[in-house]
Chains A and B, each alone.
Chain A
């Protein structure tokens, strides 16, 4: 019940296309859902985050879609660029302890 399941494990998208990464959870106590971006040899960095009181949040080319009833959330990268090539992690945490539970990560490659 503490898991966050992330898919796909890897993804190849053409430049200019839309990249979509999905995450699912079981614990209804989760109420904060961040996405982190990690480049090779670096630590992850917060990309965008959402709380369950909204269904969508957009920051530039990055959008989180949130479906509370399905317990799923996804990251959409519009007009994907080679510089977006990285590993993306979803995560979730409850307000009871604010401890992040991490998805397994998605390695995204944007082909020029």
Chain B
């Protein structure tokens, strides 16, 4: 079945450590997104990519980095510069960026600080 796979489901970060969250889709979608979800704050956009080898900062990009070397993959790195990384991270994809097609979400990665 087509969908979005996020891994790992749970991740723990030590102080000063960078960690990378995986997001893979087999929906042949052009656009991919990373959101951060905190209780009571809805979804906040970290980065998005409209097409391979292109990505743009969202509203809260500081302390995060991404790459989009393949259409299927959009990994997110949470760097040590992100001082409050504990959150639920969601990856999404959409057929075409410039459209009202629905966003399809993975089941998220919960990141915690050790």
A residues apposed to B, CB below 8 Å: 6, 9, 32, 34, 41-46, 49, 89, 93, 95, 97-100, 102-105
**Which label, helix, strand, loop or mixed, suits the secondary structure of the A interface?**
loop
* Bound complex: CA A22 to CA B68 (Å): 37
Interface size, chain B (Cβ < 8 Å): 22
Our count of residue pairs bridging A and B at CB distance below 8 angstroms stands at: 49
A104 to chain B, nearest CB (A): 4
**Which label, helix, strand, loop or mixed, suits the secondary structure of the B interface?**
loop
* Bound complex: CA A6 to CA B40 (Å): 10
A102 to chain B, nearest CB (A): 4
The answer on a CB contact under 8 Å between B99 and A98 is: yes
| Contacts beyond the supplied A98-B98, A104-B42: 7 A-B pairs with Cβ under 8 Å | A43-B91, A44-B43, A45-B105, A46-B102, A89-B42, A102-B43, A103-B42
